[in-house]
Amino acid sequence: MEFKTREEFEKHIKKTVITADEIKLRIAEAGRYIDSIYSGRPLLLVSILKGAFVFLADIARAVTVPCEVCFMEAKSYYESTESSGDVKITMDLDRDIKDCDVVIVEDIIDTGRTLADVVRILRSRGPHSLRVVTLLDKPERRVAEMKADMALFTIPDLFVIGYGLDYGEYFRNLPYIAEYSE
Report the catalytic residues.
110
Which DSSP string corresponds to the chain?
Answer: ---SSHHHHHTTEEEEEE-HHHHHHHHHHHHHHHHHHHTT--EEEEEEETTTHHHHHHHHHH--S-EEEEEEEEE--SSSSS--S--EEEE--SS--TT-EEEEEEEEESSSHHHHHHHHHHHTT--SEEEEEEEEE-GGG--S----SEEEEE--S--EEBTTB-BTTBSTT-SSEEEE--
